[in-house]
């Protein structure tokens, strides 16, 4: 499987839900997506997949699996979700349709919520990831630094985030 880059926010590091994340270690987490473009129609029969655009940005051909409580997307190599907050709608997403869109992918920090648990039970959204590289970035500062561990001692909670280069372990 090809590598996937996920954002791991400083607040998530400090909340400690996943403990310190180390290069060479494993992480079990679902993936949250943020929609960065409008949905566009795709030709019938096109299989779900993602194309890496840089950092944690992807062009996705996604099959919409569900829009109840969370939008759940099949992206081929993984499944990603986004919470539908009370009073919101799932937008243009319709269960059973396939569309193309630009997204960003992040480690889902909402690990014990009804919508995360439902998606995990119904669609297998919790994945085991092998971490190959951790890149620490500071908001508003050019450049980045490779680190061996994302932990409280190495990542600021408010001004930094990490990009985790991972492969999914089946």
Task: Reduce the DSSP state of residue 169 to 3 states and report it.
Answer: strand
102 Cβ partners below 8 Å, 6+ apart? 35, 36, 37, 53, 57, 58, 59, 60
Domain locations in the chain?
4-169
What is the distance between the alpha carbons of residues 139 and 134, in angstroms, rounded to a whole number?
A: 16
CA 73 to centroid of chain Cα atoms: 11
What is the pairing mode between strands 149-150 and 21-22?
A: antiparallel
pTM given for the model: 0.94
Tell me which residue of 126, 157, 159 sits closest to 140, measured CA to CA. Answer: 159
Beta bridge partners of 160: 138
Summarised one tens digit per residue, pLDDT across range 75-124 is: 999 999 999 988 888 999 999 999 999 999 999 999 989 999 999 999 99
pLDDT, tens only, 39-87:
999 988 899 999 999 999 999 999 999 999 999 999 999 999 999 988 8
Kindly report the number of other CB atoms within 10 A of residue 116's CB atom: 22
């Amino acid at each position: 499987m090809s590598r996937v880059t996920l954002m791991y926010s400083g607040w998530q590091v400090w909340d400690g839900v996943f403990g310190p994340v180390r290069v060479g270690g494993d992480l079990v987490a679902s993936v949250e997506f943020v929609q960065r473009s409008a949905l566009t129609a795709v030709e019938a029969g096109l299989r779900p997949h993602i194309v890496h655009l840089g950092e944690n940005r992807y062009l996705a051909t996604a099959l919409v699996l569900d829009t109840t409580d969370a939008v759940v997307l099949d992206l081929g190599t993984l499944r990603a979700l986004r919470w539908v907050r009370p009073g919101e709608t799932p937008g243009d997403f319709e269960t059973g349709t396939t569309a193309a869109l630009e997204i960003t992918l992040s480690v889902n920090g909402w690990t014990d919520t009804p919508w995360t648990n439902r998606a995990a039970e119904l669609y297998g959204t919790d994945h085991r990831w092998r971490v190959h590289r951790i890149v620490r970035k500071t908001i508003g500062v050019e450049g980045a630094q490779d680190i061996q561990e994302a932990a409280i001692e190495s990542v600021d909670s408010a001004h930094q985030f990490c990009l985790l280069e991972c492969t999914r372990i089946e």
